[in-house]
Structure 1
Amino acid sequence: MPNLVPELNSLDFNVYVGGPLQAAIQAQTAASMATVNFIQEVGFENDGDPATVDSLRYVDFQYKKSVPNPHFGKSAADLAAEGLPPSTDTANTYLENEVEIKVPFLTMLTIPSLRIDEVNIDFNARLSSTETRNVSSEFAASAELGINYKIVNFKASASYKRNTSQGVKVDKTYNLGVKVRAVNDELPEGLSRILDMLEDSIAAVA
Structure 2
Amino acid sequence: MNEKFIGSVINALPLEHMIGGPLQAMIKAQIQATKSYTDFLLSVCIKDGKANAVQFDYDETVVDEQGVVQGVMTKTMRIPLLAAVTHPIICIEEGTIDFELEISQSESDSSSTEAEASLEASVGWGPFRAKVTGRVSHKSEQTRKTDTRAKYSIHTQVKRQDPPEALMRVIDFLTESATKPVVHKTNSEKLGEFQTTETLQQKEKQAA
Match of 1:130 in 2: 106
Percent of paired sites with the same residue: 26
Instruction: Tell whether 2:80 aligns with 1:104.
Output: yes
Q: CA deviation at 1:174?
A: 0.8
Q: CA deviation at 1:128?
A: 0.6
Q: CA deviation at 1:68?
A: 2.7
Asked whether the equivalents of residues 33 and 90 of structure 2 are also in contact (C-alpha less than 8 Å), the reply is yes
CA distance in 2, matches of 1:189, 1:175: 42
Match of 2:154 in 1: 178
Correspondence for 1:65 among 36, 40, 60 = 60
Matches within 5 A, 1:26-105: 26-45=28-47, 53-68=48-63, 93-105=69-81
Q: CA deviation at 1:159?
A: 8.0
In proportion to residue count, which structure has more helix?
2
| TM-score, normalised relative to structure 1 | 0.67
Q: Secondary structure at the match of 1:177?
A: strand
Q: CA deviation at 1:38?
A: 0.9
Query: Residue 162 and residue 26 in structure 1: after superposition, are their counterparts in 2 closer, same or farther (change >3 A)?
Result: farther
CA distance in 1, matches of 2:39, 2:134: 88
Match of 2:176 in 1: 200
Match of 1:2 in 2: 2
Q: CA deviation at 1:164?
A: 4.0
Query: Residue 69 and residue 127 in structure 1: after superposition, are their counterparts in 2 closer, same or farther (change >3 A)?
Result: same
Structure 2 counterpart of 1:37, one-letter code: D
CA distance in 2, matches of 1:65, 1:2: 88
| TM-score, normalised relative to structure 2 | 0.66
Q: CA deviation at 1:176?
A: 1.7
Asked whether the equivalents of residues 61 and 69 of structure 2 are also in contact (C-alpha less than 8 Å), the reply is no
Match of 1:119 in 2: 95
Match of 1:140 in 2: none
Correspondence for 2:22 among 3, 13, 20 = 20
Asked whether the equivalents of residues 132 and 168 of structure 1 are also in contact (C-alpha less than 8 Å), the reply is yes
Q: CA deviation at 1:62?
A: 1.4
Structure 1: gaps (5+ residues):
46-52, 73-91, 138-156
Q: Secondary structure at the match of 2:86?
A: coil
CA distance in 2, matches of 1:109, 1:42: 10
Q: Secondary structure at the match of 2:16?
A: helix
Match of 1:146 in 2: none
Asked whether the equivalents of residues 56 and 77 of structure 2 are also in contact (C-alpha less than 8 Å), the reply is yes
